[in-house]
Structure formats: C-alpha cells, structure tokens
C-alpha cells in the first residue's frame, strides 16, 4: 500500500543549518505514528517540513506519490491537517467559528462559509465529542476542550492526514487521555495521524509505529513495541529509562531519576 505522505533522504533545518537528517518517513491511511525526541531535537522542524511550511534542505517530501512542492497551498490544506503546539487565540471566537476556519482551503478568495461549511464544522465537533461547545468562547473552555476544538478545526479541512505537534502539552492527566483517545479514533476512521510527544507511554498505548529522532538523526523507526523500549529510549535521551510491567503484561516507562545535582558552594560573605 502506497503512503499518503512520504519523505526520502530528508535534511531539515533553517537557512544553511541542518537540524536533523531523516533517511525516510512514511505515513499510511489508518495508522498512528508517534515521533519522540528530546527538546531541540528537530521534531517540530520535521513536522513543518512534512507539511510544506519549511522547504527541505535536501531530499524530497511526497504527498499521494507526488512531490509536495508541486501542490498548491489550498490543495495541500485539503490533504493535510495541522494542529500546532500550544496555540491560543487572542480573540474570543466560539468553537464553531474556530472550526469554520478549517474550511478556508475549500473557499474562494473573500468567500464566506455557507450552510454546507457549517454542517461540516458541526460534524467535526460532533466527531470529537464537543458539539455542546459550539457557541462557547474558546476563552471559556478547559485546555482539553480547546485542544479538541483545534483538532476539529483540522478535521473540517476534510484532510487525508493530520499532523499534531505535542497535542497533550500542558494538559492535565484526564484531558491527555481524552485527546489521545480522539487521535486514535481519527486513524480508526481511516486518516493517517502523526503526533509528536515527550511521553513514551503515550506512544506505546496509542501509536502503531514510532520514530526516535535525536542527536540530529533518526535513531530508529518501526512497530512501536519494537522501537519504544528501555534500550531505545536510553539511546534517545542519554539516560537510563526504567520500566515496570503491568499485570496485563504491558510495559510502563518511568522518568529517570538522573544524577544528583552538584553541590553549590555558599557565596562568601560580602565585605
């Protein structure tokens, strides 16, 4: 089965500075791929390059087996949905107004959303379980509710794939579960989904495949159970990553305790 989104011999970065080299990435319909790596390791840069928001420094990104550079911006937006990290609105848009922004790719210049666009927006809110928020201001929502509305906005584009940058950042434990359940449901409905995360347990529970991006290169990729291991995570983060096994036989990874902080000498008394 051909990939929805594919990159080969990719180098990503800014200007002439290469942030990461990635020999290959693929995203297929109906699967969830988790992208893990340390801060500053290039996860967001790779995501933006796959979306066409940044040009590759080398290599090629292909969408539906066609070079991404040959796609117009509206056509890309009809295929690829994007949920950026920690986005907050300055204006008090309602949930429905936010989701209708996802219809921009399907509207002509200066065109206003019509009845069909509103129906698609309502359907997206319904799919994410937040239809009751349609008329509520985003400033009066919890972080989890707002994140689900942003995912609904991406769905309103009617894309074939959705890329999410740390979709659970700053969310409480319960809302993390709600958002990740929604992410898994998108793939079950036939979309390709790629999300970045710092939590290996999220990858292990909700993804089909994983990519480990660290030290400027792709360290490993493959089925999540084979890639997200204590050894793989230790190589990725440079520290031992312990795990425990639940009664159902599933591994759970624990934050490393790390080395003790060096002692700090007391400052000499001021004269």
For residue 158, what are the CA distances in angstroms to 9, 34, 69?
29, 22, 21
Q: What is the CATH number that goes with domain 5-89+159-253?
A: 3.40.50.300
pLDDT higher than threshold 70 for residue 98: yes
Inter-CA distances, 92 with 96, 98, 123, 140, 152, Å: 11, 10, 22, 9, 17
- CA angle, 147 then 162 then 210, to 5°: 100
101 Cβ contact list (under 8 Å, min separation 6): 153, 156
Stretch 203-216: mean pLDDT: 95
Residue 268 pLDDT:
46
Cβ-contact 100, 118 below 8 angstroms: yes
Q: What is the pLDDT of residues 128-179, one digit of tens each?
A: 999 999 999 999 999 899 999 999 999 999 999 999 999 998 889 988 999 9
Least confident of 30-44, 109-123, 208-222: 109-123
Read off the pLDDT of residues 64-75 as tens digits, 9 standing for 90 and up.
Answer: 999 999 999 989
Mean pLDDT of 187-211: 96
Give 247's pLDDT tier (boundaries 50, 70, 90).
confident
Q: Please, which residues bridge with residue 39 across strands?
A: none
- Label residue 107 by pLDDT band (50, 70, 90): confident
**Structural contact between residues 33 and 210, judged by C-beta atoms closer than 8 angstroms:** yes
Round the average pLDDT of the chain to a whole number and report it: 90
Question: Closest by alpha carbon to 5, among 229, 193, 252?
Answer: 193
- Which residue, 17, 6, 81, is CA-closest to 45? 17
Give CB contacts under 8 A, 24+ apart, made by 204-207.
204/228, 204/250, 204/251, 204/253, 205/180, 205/250, 206/32, 206/34, 206/180, 207/32, 207/33, 207/34
pLDDT band at residue 203 under the 50/70/90 scheme: very high
Nearest to 3 by CA among 160, 165, 163: 160
Per DSSP, what are the bridge partners of residue 244?
252
């Amino acid at each position: 089965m051909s990939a929805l989104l594919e990159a080969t011999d990719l180098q990503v970065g800014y200007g002439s500075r290469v942030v990461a080299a990635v020999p290959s990435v693929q995203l297929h319909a109906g699967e969830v791929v988790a992208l893990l790596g340390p801060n500053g390791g290039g996860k967001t840069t790779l995501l933006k390059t796959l979306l066409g928001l940044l040009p590759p420094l080398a290599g090629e990104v292909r969408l539906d087996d066609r070079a991404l550079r040959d796609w117009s911006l509206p056509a890309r937006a009809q295929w690829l949905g994007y949920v950026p990290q920690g986005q907050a609105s300055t204006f008090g848009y309602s949930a429905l107004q936010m989701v209708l922004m996802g219809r921009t790719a399907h509207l002509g210049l200066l065109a206003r959303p019509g009845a069909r666009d509103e129906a698609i927006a309502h359907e997206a809110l319904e799919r994410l379980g937040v239809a009751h928020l349609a008329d509520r201001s985003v400033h009066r929502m919890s972080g989890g509710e707002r994140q689900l509305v942003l995912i609904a906005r991406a769905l309103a584009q009617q894309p074939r794939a959705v890329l999410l940058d740390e979709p659970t950042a700053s969310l409480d434990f319960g809302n993390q579960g709600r958002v990740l359940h929604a992410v898994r449901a998108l793939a079950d409905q036939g979309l390709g989904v790629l999300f970045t995360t710092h939590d290996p347990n999220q990858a292990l529970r909700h993804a089909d495949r994983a990519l480990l991006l660290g030290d400027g290169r792709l360290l490993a990729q493959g089925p999540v159970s084979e890639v997200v291991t204590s050894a793989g995570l230790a190589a990725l983060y440079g520290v031992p990553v312990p795990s425990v096994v639940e009664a159902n036989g599933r591994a759970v990874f624990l934050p490393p305790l790390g080395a003790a902080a060096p002692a700090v000498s007391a400052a000499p008394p001021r004269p």
